[in-house]
Structure 1
Amino acid sequence: MAVLIVEGRAHKLTSSNGKVEAHEIHTIYSNQEETDTRVVLYLHHAAAIGYKDAVVRTPDNDIFVILLYHAHEIKLTVYLDTGSGKHRRLINVTEFAESLGKNYCAALLGYYVWSGEDCTSAFKGKGKVGPLKKLQKNPKFQEAFARLGDEWSIHHEVDESLEQFACVMYGHSRELSVNTVRGKMLRKMVSEDEKLTAKSKVDLARLPPCRAALQPHNKRVNHRVALYKRAHIAIVEKPKPYEMDEKRKRLTGTDMVIKTHFASVFD
């Protein structure tokens, strides 16, 4: 028996007396757009029909963190077959997830997407390992990252905590505003006269994003994590980005507008 999956539809292929028959498996039809998320649905199906173990073969880190989050609810032992050649290895995802705990796995998923993945931007020069070490030392930020994606709209307090963590990531643990951190870092870059000229050796990419850029990033991250957290659901009813903005506009009476003039970089 083999299962062939194309565009979200699964078919069981069986061979008997030289004849191949195909039967659609309706229970795992999905509107999930990516294999990264559909894998979780397939693992639940495998457990439901009696399998005790499953191996996922991929070099993709996205699937690893998604599996870590869902491993606590999948009723079989999940292994990840990753790497190639002498670097190929088999990871017991279920055992690893249990050792980390459910809440920390949720925080890792949120952090992984926030710090940059396929569809979200990264913070230049920061990577993932350094900031992760800071995250490990602070339960408050772990809780904020773990709450990402619980709802389709990001909670205000989560948004504020992520901004504060961005300040910590850029070496200003006492600050709450990325705009304040940008100002301090820029003044340090331009020396004592605090004048930005063509001769100033300033790399603006070393600055954290301003709040007007960070907030849409956080919203995008929340949307992505919400999809990942719902990977076990076959048909996901997800709001469109413009629908989210229309809802926010009705509640606040304002448009979602990002400043584009140069001065806003320092506001």
Structure 2
Amino acid sequence: MAVLIVEGRAHQLLSSNGKVEVRELPTIYSNQEETDTRVVLYLHHAAAIGYKNAVVRTPDTDIFVILLYHAHAIRLTIYLDTGSGKHRQLLNLSELAESLGEDYCATLLGFHVFSGEDCTSAFKGKGKVGPLKKLEKNPKFHRAFSQLGDNWNVKPEVLKQLEQFTCLIYGESRESSVDVVRAKLLRKMVGQDDKLTAKSKVDLARLPPCYDALKPHVQRVNHRVALNKRAD
């Protein structure tokens, strides 16, 4: 038996006596745009028809964090086949999700989208490793990230926490306003008594976003996380 999925429509292919029978599977029809989220639906279907294990072959970090979030609700053992050549490995994703816990998996999903993925912008020069280490050292921000996507609108307290975390990843842990941090960092780049001119050696892209840019970023992140959380 094989299942062929094209543009969200699934067909089961059964071979018997040299003939192939094709039957549509409406239970896993999906109008979701990306395979990243449709994979969750397919795994639920595999569990429903009796499979105990499933292997997802992908190099995509987006799918990795989405599956980490959903692994607790999928009634089979999920393995992630990733890498290539000597670096190819098989990860027991269900076991990893269990060891991390549901709350932290939700935190990682929110953090991953916030720090930049396919459809959300990243913070130039910050990457993911450094901000993740700061997140691990500051668990007070975990709840804000885990709450992203629970509702279609961002809660004011979540937005406030993520603004403060943005200040943290730019090295200003005592500040809570990105506009204040922008001003401080710009002053350091230009010099205390110098004026900003065309000849000033300033990389504005390395400043944190202003609040008027951060707010729609968080709103877009929230929308993306909401879609990921509703992948099933």
The superposition leaves residues 66-113 of structure 1 with CA deviations (integer Å, 9 ceiling, x where unpaired) of: 000000110000000001111100000000001111000000000000
Aligned twin of 1:63: 63
The letter of the residue matching 2:212 is A
Shift of 1:200: 1.2
The superposition leaves residues 125-183 of structure 1 with CA deviations (integer Å, 9 ceiling, x where unpaired) of: 00000000000112221110000000111111111111000000000001110000000
* Corresponding residue SS for 1:5: strand
Shift of 1:32: 1.1
Aligned twin of 2:144: 144
Aligned twin of 2:4: 4
Task: Report how many residues are paired.
Answer: 232
Aligned twin of 1:105: 105
Question: How many angstroms apart in 2 are the aligned matches of 1:48 and 1:104?
Answer: 27
Aligned twin of 1:218: 218
Question: How many angstroms apart in 1 are the aligned matches of 2:52 and 2:80?
Answer: 15
Shift of 1:194: 3.9
Aligned twin of 1:27: 27
* Corresponding residue SS for 1:72: helix
Shift of 1:17: 1.5
Q: Does 1:93 align with 2:66?
A: no
Aligned twin of 1:203: 203
Question: How many angstroms apart in 1 are the aligned matches of 2:85 and 2:144?
Answer: 38
Range moving further from structure 2, 58-67 or 193-202:
193-202
The superposition leaves residues 188-210 of structure 1 with CA deviations (integer Å, 9 ceiling, x where unpaired) of: 11112141012211111110000
Question: How many angstroms apart in 1 are the aligned matches of 2:140 and 2:153?
Answer: 20
Task: State the identity %.
Answer: 77
Shift >3 Å, 4+ stretches? none
Question: How many angstroms apart in 2 are the aligned matches of 1:30 and 1:184?
Answer: 48
Normalising by the residue count of structure 1, what TM-score does the alignment of the two structures yield? 0.86
Q: Does 1:227 align with 2:231?
A: no
Aligned twin of 1:253: none
Normalising by the residue count of structure 2, what TM-score does the alignment of the two structures yield? 0.99
Aligned twin of 1:165: 165
The letter of the residue matching 2:38 is R
Aligned twin of 1:41: 41
Gap regions ≥5 residues in structure 1: 233-267
* Corresponding residue SS for 1:56: strand
Question: How many angstroms apart in 2 are the aligned matches of 1:161 and 1:66?
Answer: 23
* Corresponding residue SS for 1:20: strand
Question: How many angstroms apart in 1 are the aligned matches of 2:171 and 2:139?
Answer: 18
The letter of the residue matching 1:140 is K
CA RMSD of aligned residues (A): 0.7
Question: How many angstroms apart in 2 are the aligned matches of 1:89 and 1:117?
Answer: 23
Question: How many angstroms apart in 1 are the aligned matches of 2:152 and 2:11?
Answer: 32
Question: How many angstroms apart in 2 are the aligned matches of 1:212 and 1:193?
Answer: 27
Aligned twin of 1:120: 120
Aligned twin of 2:180: 180
Aligned twin of 1:240: none
